[in-house]
Amino acid sequence: MEGERPRLDKPGGKGQTISMNPALLDMLFSRACEGCGADLGQEPGSLCWDCRAEVKAVQVPFCERCGDPVAGAVSGPFECAWCHKTEPAFEWARSAVRYDGVAKTCLRRFKYNAGAWLLDDLADWLLALWRVCPATVREADFATCVPLHPKRERERGYNQAALLGRRLARRVGIPFRGRLLWRWKATETQTHLTAAQRVHNVRGVFSVPWPGRVRGARIVLVDDVMTTGATVNECARALKTAGAASVMVLTVARG
């Protein structure tokens, strides 16, 4: 497509990664907004100012436990029906933006079309979220991520949650440990499943091969999108079973 930036960090042979200098790409190819296709010129990032303004931040009121926003007026802190019924394994979860419009376009490009040039923009949203999260996030010992099954990661060439988690951890100054959780079963994609089917689909598919690495730790779990919370909840359950002291969940978007 004319005006579209070439893919960065495309998987090379024998597990190698071929990287291209973004500054060089900007000299060779015109930069277009990921949202509307407009010429970006010298504007920083991958979105024009109009498309940035369309991104919807997750704002109060939302569930104090899972961060799911609700419409209407709510007086004071509250816990949603799902959290009250299921008692999630994580301490709390928060998301930066709503998964629709421009944000959805960017995340799908990043996740499914090797849009590695979007990493800094998405990490910016996560960093902004970090700064307004409950104070306990600043007590975290390290960050980790929701794992992909090895077969799917080989097919895609990367784990988008690992890229986000590593970049966020670097920016906030905590370690990142990307291989704490193991996804031993290649489950069906969650995209078209109902809430109940999502819970069943990921039930018991995560484990912690080396419990000593998480025992007593306060962990930030990073993923790209949270919809029903089934996946991050199962990850948190596995980490807690292995001895983690607490699990806090951060995602770029909330579906």
Fold of 10-254: Rossmann fold (3.40.50)
Where are the domains positioned within the chain?
10-254
Q: What is the pLDDT of residues 5-60, one digit of tens each?
A: 444 444 444 444 445 555 555 555 668 999 999 999 888 899 999 999 999 999 99
Q: What is the pLDDT of residues 105-147, one digit of tens each?
A: 999 999 999 999 999 999 999 999 999 999 999 999 999 999 9
Distance CA 40, CA 185 (A): 42
Distance CA 249, CA 229 (A): 10
